[in-house]
Amino acid sequence: MSRDEIKDKLLEYVREKLQSEEITETTQLESIDEFSSIFVVELILFIEENFDLEVSYEDYNMENYSDVTSIIDLVIRNKEKS
């Protein structure tokens, strides 16, 4: 799966879950009212199910979920490990 495919899939999910079509790759997700720890848990589950990987405990760091670019990087790093 290419970086663009990962980006498209993640943007679609994040926009839907956070109820904002305005979200871009660099939008700081914490600035959105709907952002919460529950969202992050659901996002991790989404990543694991849709990209066929396991997010390690070391990756449970909010820096990895600050914006879609960071999430894409997380997915790519984990795909390379597996």
Q: What is the reported pLDDT for 81?
A: 82
pLDDT of residue 82: 72
pLDDT of res. 80: 87
- What would the pLDDT profile of 3-24 be if each residue is shown by its tens digit? 999 999 999 999 999 999 999 9
Q: Name every residue whose Cβ is closer than 8 Å to that of residue 10 and which is 6 or more positions away in sequence.
A: 68, 71, 72, 75
- Give the C-alpha separation, 68 to 27, whole Å: 7
Over residues 49-60, the pLDDT tens digits come to 999 999 988 999
